[in-house]
Amino acid sequence: MDGHDGQAASIGTFAEVSLASIDEDERANRAGHAHHIEELAASIEENGLLQPIVLERTSQGDRARFRLIAGARRLRALRLLNRATAAALVVDPITDSARLALGIIENVQRDNLTGAERSRSLLALRDMVGGSTKTAAELIGIHPASFRRAVRHGRPASSAPWPGSASGSRCRRSTV
């Protein structure tokens, strides 16, 4: 709720989007293991797409284009399955730091993300917001001290779980 009029704040629109109209960020990590994408594709084939991809509208008009914000593995799995469309949450254009924060939030929830990968992502986010640890930590909903520890040690501190973790209910979450 937004606290003003009792109505939930809108974060985007759900839509079925053509895969041909989706562009992946050129900075996205494409070095995923093919067998992980194949396993995800098999799961999607059997169970359907359980979580929509997140897209940013990049153009209007007759041929709308979209930039992938979150869900690169899901998108690659859908393409592997030769699907024509995907369920997506389409958001209005956002800032580079918000886009990066959404990608980091998505990634830190992955089990197979290494401490080094997490640390690099957090440092990139901090750089994106002008070097402020406090601002970067607020964007992903963790305490600045936990952010610093995660960067130093390559893993989150046990006293401050990452958003989406099993014990993440103690963690303050912020909207991005």
Every domain of the chain and the residues it spans: 13-91, 96-170
Residues 41, 115, 91, 95: is their CA dihedral positive or negative? negative
**Is 3's pLDDT higher than 50?**
no
| pLDDT band, very low/low/confident/very high, at 60 (cuts 50, 70, 90) | low
Mean pLDDT, the chain, as a whole number?
Answer: 77
**Is 167's pLDDT higher than 60?**
no
| pLDDT band, very low/low/confident/very high, at 123 (cuts 50, 70, 90) | confident
96/43: higher pLDDT: 43
Q: What tokens does 91 get?
A: 């958001």
pLDDT of residue 27: 58
Cβ 39 vs Cβ 75: under 8 Å: no
Alpha helices in 48-95 (DSSP H): 72-80
pLDDT tens track for 15-42 = 999 999 999 876 555 555 678 899 999 9
pLDDT of residue 26: 66
* CATH for the stretch 13-91: 3.90.1530.10
161/138: higher pLDDT: 138
What value does the mean pLDDT take over residues 49-66? Answer: 85
Query: How many other CB atoms are found less than 10 A from the CB of residue 141?
Result: 19
pLDDT of residue 107: 72
How far is the C-alpha of 149 from the C-alpha of 117, rounded, in Å? 14
Angle between helices 96-108 and 115-128 (to 10 degrees): 160
Contacts of 96 (CB under 8 A, 6+ apart): 128
Amino acid at 110: R
What value does the mean pLDDT take over residues 32-54? Answer: 89
| pLDDT band, very low/low/confident/very high, at 169 (cuts 50, 70, 90) | very low
pLDDT tens track for 69-122 = 889 889 999 999 999 999 999 988 888 777 777 777 777 666 667 788 888 888
User: Given the structure tokens 């509208």, which residue do they identify?
Assistant: 57
Cβ 71 vs Cβ 110: under 8 Å: no
